[in-house]
């Protein structure tokens, strides 16, 4: 393991309590258990599920989920494991996005940046719950303009990072976010800090060739949208 990876691992909380046996697959099932159809679409996006997109947990879904687990486990040691929240967020991503997201903190850690992955994929219901915050008489600020199916976080390709101080304090903003992007970006990643309209410096996603409407249609219909590595 490279030194910077060890350093990074040392400043993160140990990976305990992820679930009862530490399997990503079972964590995914927990995270996506309210929406099997959504999980089938994630599995389809990774080319692992050929069954019907019917929301039923049958043998084909089970087989695909096990394969997803196996491949995710193969990705993990390449870059080390991280704190519980990062692992939880990572487990919700499509495999290619998981791979990229695991390598990212290793690329940026050399400058003493403490980067965690604070958000990954959200099922549509979670996105809708976020959308309701600050609207329809609900208290608090508006936190998103995207309903379920209208956020890049709804397709397994996007994640948000957070910068943390050495003592574990969350920094919502600061020059560290630019620094992280400078060191961590690769040609296959798109950074929300480069967006013209809604600048989002914590947001990263797999580079896309589709606008969000086309992306949503492909995700929902089970057509490919993740380009091969
Ligand atoms: Zn985001």
Interval between CA 194 and ligand 1 midpoint (Å): 13
Distances in whole angstroms, Cα of residue 121 to Cα of each of 71, 78, 157, 178: 18, 22, 7, 23
The pTM score is 0.84
Q: How far is CA 217 from the centre of its chain?
A: 20
Interval between CA 151 and ligand 1 midpoint (Å): 8
Interval between CA 227 and ligand 1 midpoint (Å): 20
Q: Which residues contact 153 (CB under 8 A, 6 or more apart)?
A: 119, 120, 121, 122, 127, 159, 160
Q: Residue 215 and residue 227: Cα distance in Å, rounded? A: 12
Predicted pLDDT of residue 10:
29
Interval between CA 157 and ligand 1 midpoint (Å): 10
Q: Residue 202 and residue 158: Cα distance in Å, rounded? A: 10
Interval between CA 127 and ligand 1 midpoint (Å): 11
CA neighbor of 55 nearest in space, from 70, 69, 44: 44
Interval between CA 106 and ligand 1 midpoint (Å): 20
Interval between CA 216 and ligand 1 midpoint (Å): 16
Predicted pLDDT of residue 8:
28
Answer for the pair 131, 153: CB distance below 8 angstroms, yes or no: no
Q: From the first residue on, what is the mean pLDDT of each consecutive set of 10 residues in the chain (229 residues)?
A: 29 35 56 86 95 94 91 84 86 93 81 86 93 90 90 96 90 93 91 91 93 96 84
Interval between CA 121 and ligand 1 midpoint (Å): 9
Q: Residue 87 and residue 117: Cα distance in Å, rounded? A: 8
Q: Residue 163 and residue 177: Cα distance in Å, rounded? A: 7
Residue 187: exposure state from Cβ atoms within 10 A (0-12, 13-18, ≥19): exposed
Interval between CA 53 and ligand 1 midpoint (Å): 26
Interval between CA 63 and ligand 1 midpoint (Å): 30
Predicted pLDDT of residue 190:
94
Interval between CA 153 and ligand 1 midpoint (Å): 6
What are the sequence ranges of the domains in the chain? Answer: 11-221
Interval between CA 144 and ligand 1 midpoint (Å): 10
CATH class of 11-221: alpha beta
């Amino acid at each position: 393991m490279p030194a910077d990876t060890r350093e990074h691992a040392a400043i993160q909380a140990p990976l305990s309590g992820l679930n009862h046996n530490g399997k990503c697959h079972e964590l995914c099932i927990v995270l996506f258990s309210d929406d099997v159809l959504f999980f089938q679409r994630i599995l389809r996006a990774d080319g692992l599920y050929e069954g019907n997109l019917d929301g039923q947990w049958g043998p084909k879904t089970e087989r695909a989920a096990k394969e997803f687990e196996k491949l995710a486990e193969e990705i993990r040691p390449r870059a080390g494991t991280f704190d519980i929240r990062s692992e939880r967020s990572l487990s919700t991503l499509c495999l290619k996005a998981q791979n990229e997201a695991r390598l990212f903190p290793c690329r940026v850690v050399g400058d003493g940046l403490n980067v965690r992955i604070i958000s990954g994929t959200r099922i549509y219901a979670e996105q809708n719950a976020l959308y309701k915050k600050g609207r329809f008489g609900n208290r608090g600020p508006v936190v998103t303009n995207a309903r379920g199916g209208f956020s890049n976080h709804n397709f397994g390709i996007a994640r948000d990072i957070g910068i943390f101080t050495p003592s574990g304090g969350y920094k919502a903003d600061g020059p560290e976010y630019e620094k992280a992007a400078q060191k961590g970006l690769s040609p296959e990643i798109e950074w929300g800090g480069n967006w013209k309209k809604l600048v989002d410096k914590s947001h990263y996603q797999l580079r896309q060739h589709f606008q969000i409407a086309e992306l949503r249609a492909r995700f929902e219909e089970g057509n490919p949208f993740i380009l091969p590595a």
